[in-house]
A and B are shown apart, each in its own frame.
Chain A
Amino acid sequence: MSIILDHVNYIYDEDTAMAHAALIDVNLNIPKGQFIGLIGHTGSGKSTLIQHMNGLAKPTSGTVYFDGADINEQGYNKKNLRAKVGLVFQYPEHQLFETDCFKDVCFGPKNLGLSQKEVELRAYGALKQVGFDDEYFYQSPFDLSGGQKRRVAIAGVLAMKPEVLILDEPTAGLDPKGRDDILSLISKLHKEMGITIILVSHSMEDVADYVDRIIVMNKGRVFFDDVPKNVFAHYKELEEIGLAAPQVTYVMQELSAAGLNVDTNATTITEAKNEILKALKRC
Chain B
Amino acid sequence: MLRDITLGQYYRTESVVHRLDPRVKLVATFVFIISLFVAGNLLGYVVAALFLALCIKLSNVPPKFIFRGMKTIFFLLMITMVFNLFLTPGVPLVSFWKFTITKEGLRMAVMMAIRLIFLITGSSIMTLTTTPNHLTDGLESLLNPLKKIRIPVHEISMMMSIALRFIPILMEETDKIMKAQMARGADFESGSLINRAKSLVPLLVPLFVSAFRRANDLAMAMEARCYRGGEGRTKMKPLIYKKIDVNAYIVLAVYFALIIVAGRFDLLKFIGM
Query: Are B206's CB and A94's CB within 8 A?
Result: yes
A13 to B206 alpha-carbon distance, docked (Å): 26
Give B170 Cβ to nearest chain A Cβ, in Å. Answer: 13
Give B16 Cβ to nearest chain A Cβ, in Å. Answer: 17
Give A263 Cβ to nearest chain B Cβ, in Å. Answer: 42
A18 to B12 alpha-carbon distance, docked (Å): 8
| Residue among B176, B184, B209 making CB contact with A111, cutoff 8 Å | B184
Most buried by B among A16, A51, A86, A92: A16
Chain B: CB-nearest residue to A18:
B12
A sample of 16 more A-B contacts (CB under 8 A), given A97-B205, A97-B206, A97-B209, is A13-B3, A16-B65, A17-B12, A17-B13, A18-B12, A56-B183, A82-B183, A82-B184, A83-B185, A87-B183, A97-B201, A107-B184, A107-B186, A111-B187, A156-B184, A157-B184
A82 to B62 alpha-carbon distance, docked (Å): 37
Q: Mark A5-46, 1 if CB is under 8 A from B, else 0.
A: 000000001011110000000000000000000000000000
Contact of A112 with B by CB under 8 A: yes
Chain A: CB-nearest residue to B60:
A17
Given A16-B65, A97-B202, A89-B179 contact (CB < 8 Å): yes
A193-235, CB < 8 A from B: none
A27 to B183 alpha-carbon distance, docked (Å): 23
CB-CB under 8 A from A157, the residues of chain B are 183-184
Given A16-B65, A96-B206, A160-B184 contact (CB < 8 Å): yes
A79 to B64 alpha-carbon distance, docked (Å): 34
Given A13-B3, A17-B13, A79-B185 contact (CB < 8 Å): yes
Chain A: CB-nearest residue to B205:
A97
Q: Mark A87-118, 1 if CB is under 8 A from B, else 0.
A: 11100101111000000000110011000000
Give B5 Cβ to nearest chain A Cβ, in Å. Answer: 14
Q: Mark B193-214, 1 if CB is under 8 A from A, else 0.
A: 0000000011001100110000
Contact of B27 with A by CB under 8 A: no
Given A16-B62, A95-B177, A108-B184 contact (CB < 8 Å): yes
State how many residues of chain B have any CB contact under 8 Å with chain A: 24
Chain B: CB-nearest residue to A50:
B183
Q: How large is the interface on A (under 10, 10 to 19, 20 to 34, 35 or more residues)?
A: 20 to 34
CB-CB under 8 A from B176, the residues of chain A are 89, 94
Query: Are A95's CB and B209's CB within 8 A?
Result: no
A-binding residues in B (CB < 8 A): 3, 11-13, 62, 64-65, 176-177, 179-187, 201-202, 205-206, 209-210
Chain A: CB-nearest residue to B208:
A97
CB-CB under 8 A from A13, the residues of chain B are 3
Contact of A267 with B by CB under 8 A: no
Query: Are B183's CB and A86's CB within 8 A?
Result: yes
A111 to B183 alpha-carbon distance, docked (Å): 10
CB-CB under 8 A from A97, the residues of chain B are 201-202, 205-206, 209
A15 to B181 alpha-carbon distance, docked (Å): 28
A92 to B201 alpha-carbon distance, docked (Å): 17
Query: Are B185's CB and A95's CB within 8 A?
Result: no
Give A145 Cβ to nearest chain B Cβ, in Å. Answer: 15
